[in-house]
Amino acid sequence: MAAVAGAVLIEAALMAAAHAHAPYSRFAVGAALLLEDGTIVTGTNIENASYGLSLCAEAVALATANTAGRLADVVAIGVVGGSIGPGGTIAGEAPVRPCGRCRQMLVEAAQMGGRDIMVHCASADGAAVERHMLSALLPHAFGPDDLLA
């Protein structure tokens, strides 16, 4: 069940990555959030000529979930990406793991929902797949729970 959900999330994330706006890094990333009712919310990275304004795929997906009032409903995320090649192909053998900022953003969703989040990371070629709990990717995190203490 968990493995099937992971494969579905990675597939949805890869479809989102096809729409990456990444002309500067030429690195496309897709993210797919699984909500507790089975809804999948996707995002892809969007870069900017003012480089520092670029947004990660995970951040875009989380913002979309939040816009629907669903930030607290995230149970899992799939992340996949790779280099953009000729014709828009996405290639890569290494799994993409959420950057530090995105881990912190995921902690916000996790603590809002009172749960840990499963993170499925995959390479663009599909050969490498990893599964981590968010708490292992960002241990001892600061989050909204700390503001309530």
Residues that bind ligand THU in the complex, under the rule CB under 6 A: 22, 25, 27, 29, 45, 47, 54, 56-58, 98-99, 102
Q: Is 58 a catalytic residue?
A: yes
List 41's β-bridge partners, or say none: 33
Residue 95: CB minimum distance to ligand THU, A: 11
**What is the per-residue burial (b if ≥16 Cβ within 10 Å, else e) of 50-79?**
eeeebbbbbbbbbebbbeeebbbbbbbbbb
Helix (H/G/I), strand (E/B), else coil: 92? coil
Residues 58, 93, 108, 130: which is the catalytic one? Answer: 58
Comparing CB distances to ligand THU, the nearer of 136 and 149 is: 136
List 120's β-bridge partners, or say none: 78, 131
Residue 17: CB minimum distance to ligand THU, A: 9
Q: Tokens 């030429």 appear where?
A: 26
Comparing CB distances to ligand THU, the nearer of 27 and 120 is: 27
CA distance 38 to 43: 16
Comparing CB distances to ligand THU, the nearer of 70 and 103 is: 103
Residue 11: CB minimum distance to ligand THU, A: 17
Q: What amino acid positions are annotated as catalytic residues? A: 58
